Amino acid sequence: MQVQKTTAILLRRVDYGDADLILTFFSEDLGKISLIAKHAKKSRKRFAGALELFSNLNIQYRRRRQGGLAVLEEAHILDPFAALRQHILKTAYASYWAELAMGWAEDDQPLAPLYHLLVYALGELDAGRQDDALLNLAFQMRFMSLAGLCPNLNYCCVCRTEVENFQIAATGFDLPRGGLCCRTCDPTHEPTLCLSRGTIKQLQWIAEGDLARIGRIRFSSAALNEAQTFMEAFVPYHLGKEPRSLKFLRQIRPRATAA
Ligand SMILES: [Zn+2]
User: How many whole angstroms from 204 Cα to the centroid of ligand 1?
Assistant: 19
Position 65 confidence tier, pLDDT thresholds 50, 70, 90: confident
* Cα 163 to ligand 1 centre (Å): 9
pLDDT digits (tens, 9 = 90+) for 169-196: 788 899 999 999 988 887 666 667 889 9
Distance 180 CA to ligand 1 centre (A): 8
* Model pLDDT for residues 68-96, shown as the tens digit of each residue: 899 999 999 999 999 999 999 999 999 99
Q: 167 alpha carbon to ligand 1 midpoint, in Å?
A: 10
Q: Sign (positive/negative) of CA torsion 157, 189, 223, 87?
A: negative
Burial 37-67 (b: 16+ CB within 10 A, else e): bbebbeeeebbeebbebbbbbebebeeeeee
What's the rounded Cα separation, in Å, for the pair 138 and 115? 15
Main-chain phi, psi angles of 25, to 5 degrees: -115, 155
Ligand 1 center–CA 62 separation, angstroms: 55
The total domain count for the chain is: 1
Provide the CATH number for the domain around residue 168.
1.20.1440.120
Percentage of residues in the chain with pLDDT exceeding 90? Answer: 69
Cα 218 to ligand 1 centroid, rounded to whole Å: 29
Residues paired with residue 20 on neighbouring β-strands, in sequence order? 16
Distance CA 8, CA 156 (A): 40
Distance 68 CA to ligand 1 centre (A): 53
**Cβ atoms of residues 178 and 148 within 8 Å:** no
Structural domain boundaries, residue 237: 130-259
Look up residue 109 and give its DSSP letter. -
Question: For residue 80, is it within any domain?
Answer: no
- DSSP E strand stretches across the chain: 2-16, 20-27, 31-37, 56-63, 70-79, 170-174, 179-181, 194-196
Q: How remote is the CA of residue 89 from the centroid of ligand 1, in Å?
A: 39
Count Cβ neighbours within 10 Å for each residue of 171-204 and write b for 16 or more, e otherwise. Answer: bbbbbeebbbbbbebbeeeebebebbebbbbbbe
| Mean pLDDT, residues 53-82 | 94
Using the mean position of ligand 1's atoms as its centre, give its distance from the Cα of residue 157 in Å. 7
- Per-residue pLDDT at 259 exceeds 60: no
pLDDT digits (tens, 9 = 90+) for 222-237: 999 999 999 999 999 9
- In this predicted structure, what is the pLDDT of residue 258? 47
120 is a domain residue: no
**Ligand 1 centroid, distance to 208 Cα (angstroms):** 23
Q: How confident is the model at residue 211 (pLDDT cuts 50, 70, 90)?
A: confident
The pLDDT score that the predictor gives to residue 217 is 82
Give the distance (Å) from ligand 1 centre to CA of residue 155.
8
93: CA distance to ligand 1 center in Å? 35
25 located within any domain: no
Q: Residue 166 and residue 161: Cα distance in Å, rounded?
A: 7
Cα of 185 to ligand 1 centre, how many Å? 4
Cα of 193 to ligand 1 centre, how many Å? 16
Residue 256 confidence class, pLDDT cut points 50, 70, 90: low
Per the domain annotation, does 101 fall within a domain?
A: no
The answer to whether 207 touches 153, Cβ cutoff 8 Å, is: yes
Q: Judge whether residue 214 has pLDDT over 90.
A: no
76 is a domain residue:
no
User: Looking at residue 185, what is its pLDDT?
Assistant: 87
Residue 200 Cα to ligand 1 midpoint, Å, equals 16
